[in-house]
A and B are shown apart, each in its own frame.
Chain A
Amino acid sequence: MEKSFIIAGFGGQGVMVAGQLLSYTACETTDKYVTYFPSYGAEMRGGTANCYVVISDDPVGAPKVNKADYVVCLNDPSMAKFKDAVAPGGTIFVNSSVVTIEETRPDVHVVKVDAGSIAIELGNPKCLNLVIVGAIIGYTEVLPAENVLQTAFKKLGAKRPELNPINEAAFRRGWEIGHAAKEANA
């Protein structure tokens, strides 16, 4: 089983950290093969940034895919660029707090996550990416949720342990949304 992800958004939305959380969890807590490939321009903040993650039971071929099983779009420019990069039967996760472009393909599932608003409601807009990671895990079950959370504590909590509770709350809110979407599709 091989699952590919494209995670895209503005620089500063935590796109790379979201991809790395999935990747580190796969590397450090499972026997799966994993690749992570970042792609960004020269901009520090406000430019578009995206990363590619492939998690597989077998050695990974290309670390960058043209069609992904799961595409995550955190803003409109990413939606415009990547909404056609979802493989048929795949799923697109949309940060519905700011994304206005609609995915209209009949062969693609859409999971809307009001990640920006949830993050603000929880008290820190920066935890938007944890909401999204939670939704990805709740929906795809590609990795054990508790492992992802532990990796978040280990990697993010190392520098900012005071953010662990809010990161956990963000992850769990996202997980509920992803899990509910999966149940609805089933």
Chain B
Amino acid sequence: MAEKIFMKGCEAVAETAIRAGCRFFAGYPITPQNDVPEYFARRMPQVNGVFIQGESEVASSNMAYGAAAAGVRSMTSSSSCGISLKSEAISWMAGARLPVVIANFQRGGPGIGTIQPAQQDYMQATHASGNGGFRMLVLSPSNLQEAVDMTWEAFELADKYSRPVLLLMDGFTGTMMEPVELPEPLSEEQVAAIRATKTWAARGKHGAPEQHKVMCGPGLDTRISQMGMNIEDDKLYKTWQTAEIDYEDYLTEDAEVIITAYGISGRIAKSAVKILREEGIKAGLIRPRKVYPFPDVAYEKLPLEKLRGIVSAEMSIPAQFATDVERVVHGRTKIVTALSSGGEVLDRATILDAARGLMK
């Protein structure tokens, strides 16, 4: 077993990215994710990788796009309003079908918002991270070990589907410290081998009569039909609805009340379930690890009509995650919300009170 290391979330994500073969990172400073670019700035030269602090979010995300087009495992990160600025390039990555890992350490909003942790970008992350109706796989960790595991997985998935993948963090999971076990790093040979599989990548002709390569999607690349591409993407997203469903199901078998939450709120919800069980309330947890695709099946398989209800918890006012829960449940049981925003941690007591209320 690997050594247990006490690490900050931002640094754990950055270190795992490097171990997963990420050799290009471009970013622009914004709280609460400044430890990500700082860490890459120190580490990238040690692995012959490239760190660039761009002149803006727009520039740095386009640089990550460019590096991915050259076949390199590439990453960018930001927080909320910074992600909005990056959304232009993210949409272009989706249009050009390029594998890039993007991390959003959510803070308050709308607008510049507070620098404190929040989960207020759920809709943007899962439904519209840019123009054009594309979707991304969205992974959201509840603890730092999951952040490590999901960072690794994000690079694998990005390459597997050749699409941008979003790591949906928050100010808590970014700045808190917790023990983690890191994966063994890929060797330089393995990193090179992954790059070599990307025969579509633009790496110069090196004297060979290779075809001119264009990676910008339909519109600029006239060989691709817009509708044809959209249909293909739609088919891909539909395969995700079965292949990429990922959630934690905890003590739901005999549950009368279900607590559901994702990311940082997921761990608070889980601790609430334990307390409710000690009180004699049969509580269970559904915690999506991927919020896109949303794990409809996790709720569908519950005896919804027999439940006292569901408590949907998140750090967003108005609720966003809860709308996906409502869509699936569709009136078959009562849904109440436990919310906070603006940097206030979701108080476990709020979840407990909501669950106790359903039992009355």
Contact = CB atoms under 8 A, between A and B. Distances in A.
Interface of A: 20, 23-24, 27-28, 33-38, 58-66
A34 B176 contact: no
B179 A63 contact: no
Nearest to B173: A63
Contacts of A34: 6, 178-179
A23 B178 CA distance: 8
Nearest to B178: A35
Given A20-B177, A35-B178, A61 B4 contact: no
Contact of B177 (A36, A61, A65): A36
B233 to A, nearest CB: 38
Given A23-B6, A24-B6, 11 more contacts: A27-B5, A34-B6, A35-B177, A36-B177, A58-B274, A61-B267, A62-B347, A63-B172, A64-B345, A66-B347, A66-B349
A62 B179 contact: no
Nearest to A64: B345
Ranked 7 nearest A-B pairs via Cβ? A61-B271, A27-B6, A36-B177, A64-B345, A37-B176, A27-B179, A63-B176
A63 B176 CA distance: 7
Do most interface residues of chain A lie in helix, strand or loop, or is the interface mixed? mixed
7 contacts: A23-B177, A27-B5, A37-B175, A37-B177, A60-B178, A61-B348, A65-B345
Given A23-B177, A35-B178, A37-B176, A59 B4 contact: no
Interface string B126-159: 0000000000000000010000000000000000
B267 A36 contact: no
Contact of B346 (A28, A38, A62): A62
Nearest to A31: B4
B268 interface: yes
Given A27-B4, A28-B6, A62 B176 contact: no
Nearest to A62: B268
Contact of B270 (A35, A38, A59, A63): A59
A59 to B, nearest CB: 7
Interface string B164-192: 00000000100111110000000000000
Contacts of B268: 61-62
A35 B346 contact: no
Nearest to B269: A61
